[in-house]
């Protein structure tokens, strides 16, 4: 049994990473909840966003300062993709949307491979070694920033969805498309906004990940695989579930990394995944339908 | 009397779902201020017509104008903005949202300023909803859910209100109240297109009535005339 302070440090570290997982999962679950599809391009979009943040860093823009412009740019790109490419190409058939996003992910990945090769890159931020001394452990500043911003953004998503007209329209479309249409909500616009929010969530996550981890053209997929388990765990389409699930998975990964060794950190994720789904097939926050 | 254009004019409309044609040359009109009943047996296409009118199902051919607006080229949003409001069969309320959110979304295409007056008007008609603003819509009783669906429609400031089987699942007493309400709304100036299975009651309050069969209007007349028509029940309603 490791000492309590080591355990606490592992939990804290898990929460730090988990919050960023949560942010990626929030975008994925939102798109699922409204458009009823798994966006297969989510991972490729994350890789693209990390390269965008990487390029920003090369021209002297700090990743944390790149958050706002990249979020806006990715929102716009996501909106446009859904409105003028995915939507029209799918002819309203969910299976087609799935295929279009799959195709999109292949295109994005190959564009990234062509432009950046498959090399793995990292950036060195000047504050890379700063950390907060908690007495029993040190929390790196970059992880702390990741945690703080991810929580803030998730809270903003939640506020938008629950307290704004736009958010209510999004929820209305998600659960009752005909009813939403008949009150005059423009469903295609809402779909595009939702896809844009999903894209913005990976753009923000990318800026938070880059100072901590590395980037290569396929790196997004690893995160999205974890995010997908979080989405299922939290209840498909539940934003709150994705957030709590993300934190939980971060902690589980960190703890199981400690017990089973770093390379088996993800083992715990899938154990938890299976156990939760056996007890609650609709996930932690899923509707019991 | 001078000829005035009808509020809603449907001419030779064909529409359906990929492959199956449901409406086959349907023509009818709704004059401003009327209650028009649309009758027909199950599956004949009444709801389909309503969806065509609200821009949900596209026209294959034909023309529909609502107060000068060409519905063939209008979007569902344009149609709501123009004041043609469809309270759908099965209510389609937002079950996981509060009563207040449901009503507010009814005014989605209206200015924020008019929401309050709309709310007050709806609460005056349905005091029950006012007592339950915070309740989740999905937990309302069937009758309350129907009130909410109609209330949400009224929040959109309709000029023509389509009611698709509003009495479905209501007790006889509530059905009675519902028909009273429809008459009162009409008396206050609202034009109503009513799709109903309660044939006798509908004909009783309707100025005009049309019977849909085989994709077109097979029989039309005043409510009273159709009520007395022996053909009606036997031939067209499958009763
Ligand atoms: N989305 C759809 N796709 C394919 N066929 C449909 C669709 N919606 C309805 N239909 C078919 O169109 C026909 C007309 O349906 P509609 O709902 O308009 O009938 P209705 O007159 O409203 O019947 P009811 O009185 O039972 O409500 C039916 O045969 C129905 O099965
Ligand atoms: Mg019907």
B96: nearest CB among A175, A181, A184: A175
Rounded Cα distance between B146 and B143, Å, is 5
Q: Would the CB of B19 count as within 6 Å of ligand 1?
A: no
On whether residue A77 sits in a domain, the answer given is yes
On whether residue A285 sits in a domain, the answer given is no
- Ligand 1 nearest-atom number relative to CA B41: 25
Is there a contact between B80 and A183 if contact means CB atoms under 8 Å apart? Answer: yes
Q: What percent of chain A has pLDDT over 70?
A: 98
What is the arithmetic mean of pLDDT over A34-51? Answer: 95
Is there a contact between B80 and A176 if contact means CB atoms under 8 Å apart? Answer: no
Rounded Cα distance between B146 and B151, Å, is 8
CATH number of the domain residue A179 falls in:
1.10.3470
User: Which burial class, exposed, middle or buried, applies to A163 when counting CB atoms under 10 A from its CB (0-12, 13-18, 19+)?
Assistant: exposed
**Predicted confidence band at A13 (pLDDT cuts at 50, 70, 90)?**
very high
Q: A with B: how many residue pairs have Cβ under 8 Å apart?
A: 64
Pairing of strands B208-213, B35-39: parallel
Number of Cβ within 10 Å of residue A171's Cβ equals 22
Q: Would the CB of B26 count as within 6 Å of ligand 1?
A: no
**Looking at the predicted structure, is the pLDDT value of residue B239 above 60?**
no
Lowest mean pLDDT among A9-23, A87-101, B46-60: A87-101
Rounded Cα distance between B239 and B221, Å, is 19
Residue located nearest, by CA, to atom 26 of ligand 1? B42
**Predicted confidence band at A94 (pLDDT cuts at 50, 70, 90)?**
confident
What mean pLDDT is reported for chain A? 92
Helix (H, G, I), strand (E, B) or coil at B206: coil
pLDDT tens digit sequence for B71-80: 999 999 999 9
**Predicted confidence band at A289 (pLDDT cuts at 50, 70, 90)?**
very low
Q: Which residue has the higher pLDDT, B185 or A91?
A: B185
Give me A56's structure tokens: 């920003």
**Looking at the predicted structure, is the pLDDT value of residue B21 above 90?**
yes
What is the arithmetic mean of pLDDT over A230-255? Answer: 92
Number of domains in chain A: 1
Give me A250's structure tokens: 């971060």
**Looking at the predicted structure, is the pLDDT value of residue B1 above 60?**
no
A184: nearest CB among B80, B91, B104: B80
Lowest mean pLDDT among A140-144, A186-190, A271-275, B30-34: A271-275
On whether residue A142 sits in a domain, the answer given is yes
**DSSP letter assigned to residue B207:** S
What is the arithmetic mean of pLDDT over A159-188? Answer: 96
What is the arithmetic mean of pLDDT over A93-114? Answer: 90
b/e code B85-113 from CB counts within 10 Å (16+ = b) = bbbbbebbbbbbbbbbbbbbbbbbbbeee
Residue with tokens 């939102």: A30
Chain B positions touching A171 (Cβ under 8 A) are 94, 96-97
pLDDT tens digit sequence for B196-238: 989 999 999 999 999 999 999 999 999 998 988 887 777 766 6
CB A268 within 8 A of CB A260: yes
CB A195 within 8 A of CB A31: yes
What is the arithmetic mean of pLDDT over A110-130? Answer: 91
Q: What are phi and psi of B216, to 5 degrees?
A: -145, 175
ipTM surpasses 0.85: yes
On whether residue A287 sits in a domain, the answer given is no
On whether residue A109 sits in a domain, the answer given is yes
Q: Which residues make Cβ contacts (< 8 Å) with residue A69, sequence separation at least 6?
A: A56
Helix or strand holding residue B36 (H, E): strand B35-39
Pocket perturbation via mutation, ligand 1, pick of B26, B48, B89 by most ligand atoms within 8 A of CB: B48
Pairing of strands B191-195, B35-39: parallel
Q: Which residues make Cβ contacts (< 8 Å) with residue A224, sequence separation at least 6?
A: A24, A28, A42, A43, A46
CATH 1.10.3720.10 fits domain B8-236: no
Give me A110's structure tokens: 């190959």
On whether residue A95 sits in a domain, the answer given is yes
b/e code A108-138 from CB counts within 10 Å (16+ = b) = bbeebeeebeeeebebebeeeeeeeeeeeee
Confidence (pLDDT) at A265 = 72
Confidence (pLDDT) at A228 = 92
Task: Note down the domain range covering A84.
Answer: 12-118+128-279
**Looking at the predicted structure, is the pLDDT value of residue B4 above 70?**
yes
Helix (H, G, I), strand (E, B) or coil at A92: coil
Rounded Cα distance between B227 and B207, Å, is 11
Residue located nearest, by CA, to atom 2 of ligand 1? B17
pLDDT tens digit sequence for B69-117: 999 999 999 999 999 999 999 999 999 999 999 999 999 999 888 999 9
Is there a contact between B97 and A186 if contact means CB atoms under 8 Å apart? Answer: no
What is the arithmetic mean of pLDDT over A240-250? Answer: 94
**Predicted confidence band at A2 (pLDDT cuts at 50, 70, 90)?**
low
Q: What are phi and psi of A15, to 5 degrees?
A: -65, -40
Cα–Cα distances (Å) from B89 to A96, A176, A227, in that order, read 29, 13, 38
Handedness of CA A124, A125, A127, A130 (dihedral sign): negative
Q: Which residue has the higher pLDDT, A282 or A141?
A: A141
**Looking at the predicted structure, is the pLDDT value of residue A108 above 50?**
yes
On whether residue A284 sits in a domain, the answer given is no
**Predicted confidence band at A263 (pLDDT cuts at 50, 70, 90)?**
confident
What is the arithmetic mean of pLDDT over A89-117? Answer: 89
């Amino acid at each position: 049994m490791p000492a309590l302070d080591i355990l606490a440090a592992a939990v804290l570290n898990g929460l730090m990473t988990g919050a960023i997982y949560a942010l990626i999962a929030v975008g994925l679950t939102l798109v699922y909840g409204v458009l009823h599809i798994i966006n297969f391009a989510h991972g490729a979009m994350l890789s693209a966003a990390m390269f965008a943040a990487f390029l920003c860093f090369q021209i002297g823009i700090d990743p944390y300062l790149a958050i706002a412009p990249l979020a806006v740019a990715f929102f716009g790109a996501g909106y446009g993709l859904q409105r003028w490419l995915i939507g029209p190409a799918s002819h309203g058939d969910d299976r087609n949307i799935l295929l279009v996003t799959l195709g999109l992910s292949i295109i994005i990945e190959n564009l990234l491979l062509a432009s950046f090769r498959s090399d793995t890159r990292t950036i060195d931020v000047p504050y890379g070694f700063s950390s907060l001394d908690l007495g029993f452990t040190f929390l790196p500043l970059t992880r702390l920033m990741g945690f703080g911003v991810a929580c803030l953004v998730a809270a903003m998503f939640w506020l938008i969805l629950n307290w704004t007209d736009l958010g209510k329209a999004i929820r209305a479309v998600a659960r009752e498309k005909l009813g939403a249409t008949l009150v005059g909500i423009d469903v295609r616009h809402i779909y595009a906004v939702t896809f844009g929010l999903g894209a913005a969530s990976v753009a923000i996550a990318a800026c938070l990940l880059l100072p901590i981890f590395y980037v290569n053209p396929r790196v997004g997929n690893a995160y999205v695989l974890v995010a997908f388990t979080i989405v299922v765990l939290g209840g498909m389409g539940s934003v709150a579930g994705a957030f709590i699930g993300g934190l939980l998975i971060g902690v589980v990964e960190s703890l199981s990394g400690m017990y089973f060794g770093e390379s088996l950190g993800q083992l715990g994720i899938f154990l938890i995944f299976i156990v939760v789904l056996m007890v609650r097939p609709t996930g932690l926050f899923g509707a019991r339908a | 009397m001078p000829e005035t254009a009808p509020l809603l004019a449907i001419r030779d409309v064909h529409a359906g779902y990929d492959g199956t044609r449901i409406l086959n040359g349907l023509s009818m009109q709704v004059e401003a201020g009327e209650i028009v009943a649309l009758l027909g047996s199950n599956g004949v296409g009444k709801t389909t017509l309503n969806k065509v009118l609200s821009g949900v199902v596209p026209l294959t051919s034909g023309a529909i104008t609502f107060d000068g607006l060409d519905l063939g080229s209008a979007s569902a949003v344009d149609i709501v903005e123009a004041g043609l409001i469809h309270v759908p069969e099965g209510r389609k309320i937002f079950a996981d949202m509060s009563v207040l959110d449901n009503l507010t979304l009814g005014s989605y295409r209206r200015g924020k300023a008019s929401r309050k007056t709309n709310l007050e008007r709806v609460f005056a008609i349905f005091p029950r909803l006012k007592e339950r603003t915070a309740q989740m819509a999905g937990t309302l009783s069937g009758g309350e859910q129907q009130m909410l669906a109609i209330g949400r429609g009224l929040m959109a400031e309709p000029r023509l209100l389509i009611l698709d089987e509003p009495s479905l699942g209501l007790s006889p007493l509530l059905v009675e109240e519902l028909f009273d309400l429809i008459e009162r709304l009409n008396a206050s100036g609202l034009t109503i297109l009513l799709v109903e299975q309660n044939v006798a009651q509908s004909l009783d309050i309707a100025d005009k009535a049309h019977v849909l069969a085989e994709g077109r209007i097979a029989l039309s007349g005043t409510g009273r005339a159709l009520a007395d028509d022996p053909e009606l029940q036997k031939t067209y309603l499958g009763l």
